[in-house]
């Protein structure tokens, strides 16, 4: 009988407070899981009815660098919206869009279509670089409008300086 009296004197959380805390905990866990999954899933970008990552295989272009001049020719039938240029210098590198370089104002507004060519002087942007890698940028459509996609990795053209 003494134990029952001791238990009556101890107070715990009321069932209402416990239920509210449990509901809040579940909502927080669901919110964390939602944000985690949302960060893992990319929005699909499509070009010519295919995933834009697969279209990178069909891009065919040439890039040359000589005496400060870069020339890019689109030999394929996939339009190249822009290009990124990775400039490597003594163990470090920086990547710039063609629009960020001094010749960027001359880049065609709609990109390089089939057979399109571009030539510009990037000597001041390159400086004392060891090598340059040119990566094509494509533009496709997604649920939220037009989006760009950089074809990196094996799709780049390495240029000797």
Q: Express each pLDDT in 78-116 by its tens digit.
A: 999 999 989 888 878 888 887 777 765 678 888 889 999
Residue/partner pairs of 101-104 with CB below 8 Å, 24 or more apart:
101/125, 103/70
User: pLDDT value at position 27?
Assistant: 96
Q: Alpha-carbon distance 109 to 102, whole Å? A: 15
User: pLDDT value at position 30?
Assistant: 95
Average pLDDT estimate for 30-43:
81
Q: Is the pTM of this model over 0.95?
A: no
User: pLDDT value at position 10?
Assistant: 62
Q: Kindly report the CATH class assigned to 46-160.
A: mainly beta
User: pLDDT value at position 19?
Assistant: 92
Q: Domain residues of the chain, as ranges?
A: 2-40, 46-160
- The pLDDT > 70 percentage for the chain reads 88
- Model confidence at 59, pLDDT cuts 50, 70, 90, reads very high
């Amino acid at each position: 009988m003494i134990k029952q009296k001791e238990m009556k004197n101890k107070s715990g959380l009321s069932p209402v407070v416990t239920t509210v805390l449990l509901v809040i905990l579940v909502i927080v866990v669901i919110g964390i899981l939602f944000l985690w999954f949302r960060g893992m899933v990319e929005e699909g970008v499509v070009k010519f009815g295919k995933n834009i990552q697969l279209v990178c295989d069909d891009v065919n272009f040439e890039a040359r660098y000589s005496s400060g001049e870069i020339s890019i020719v689109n030999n394929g039938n996939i339009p190249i919206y822009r290009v990124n240029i990775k400039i490597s210098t003594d163990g470090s590198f920086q990547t710039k869009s063609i629009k960020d370089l001094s010749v960027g104002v001359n880049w065609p507004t709609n990109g390089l279509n089939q057979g399109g060519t571009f030539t510009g002087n990037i000597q001041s942007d390159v400086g004392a670089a060891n090598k340059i890698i040119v990566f094509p940028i494509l533009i496709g459509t997604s649920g939220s409008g037009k989006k760009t996609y950089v074809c990196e990795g094996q799709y780049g053209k390495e240029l000797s300086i």
